[in-house]
Amino acid sequence: MQSRMKAFLIFFVGMIISSFIFNATMSDEAKAKQKAEMEAAAQNDREEKLAAQQEKADPEQRIVEAAPVEVKAEKEEVSTAVELTGPQLNAVRSAEQYISFSGFSRDGLINQLSSSYGDNYDKKDATVAVDSLNIDWNEQAVKSAKQYLDMSGFSCQGLINQLSSDAGDKYTRSQAAYGAKQAGACS
């Protein structure tokens, strides 16, 4: 387990460093274009996954699954009405960069942004920044689960424990279970 964690840490730190180097060498136009492309691709992925899930679900489930989409749209309207400070806007940009290349739980992302080993934002600014984003934490759990499975083998329960551990990714148990199942670790 220790070597697995070390390998993940080395991979994760390497990805962060690569991201910062790549980001520093890009022009503002290229950054804006890349961000727009990533958002469009993420939106397309979400729509395709939702369509695939709805095809599999029975009619009663389809109604239940459609409700969260409407709630998310309302959340977006509320979050755009909130005026963010300069540090909070910077924390939003940092958070978007992190989730563009790796899966994060809400608590994990806030900790990364506010850690002295991370971006060192004020905890309140990091929390406001993360909460202002429309992030599907279940999909982030799937992303994290797939990254773990790409590096090493995990049992269903082992992956859920890793994803939900306070020393690990800090997902809720339900997010971790969803991520492990969608990533293929559970039958």
* Whether pTM exceeds 0.85: no
78 domain residue, yes or no: yes
What is the domain extent for residue 186? 136-187
Domain edge (last residue) among 93, 113, 135 = 135
93 domain residue, yes or no: yes
Write down how long the chain is: 187
Tens-digit pLDDT profile for the chain (187 aa)? 666 766 666 766 666 666 556 555 555 665 566 666 666 666 666 666 655 555 555 444 444 444 444 444 444 444 455 689 999 999 999 999 999 999 999 999 999 999 999 899 999 999 999 999 999 999 999 999 999 999 999 999 999 999 999 998 999 999 999 999 999 999 8
| 99 shares its domain with 166 | no
| 101 shares its domain with 64 | yes
Give me the CATH number covering residue 178: 1.10.10
How far CA 106 is from CA of 62, 99, 176, in Å, comes to: 26, 11, 12
- Backbone dihedral region for residue 152 (phi beyond 0: left; psi -120 to 50: alpha; all else: beta): beta
Q: Which of 32, 10, 29 is nearest to 96 (CA)?
A: 32
| 82 shares its domain with 148 | no
- Backbone dihedral region for residue 120 (phi beyond 0: left; psi -120 to 50: alpha; all else: beta): left
Cβ contact 179:145 at 8 Å: yes
pLDDT at position 15 is 65
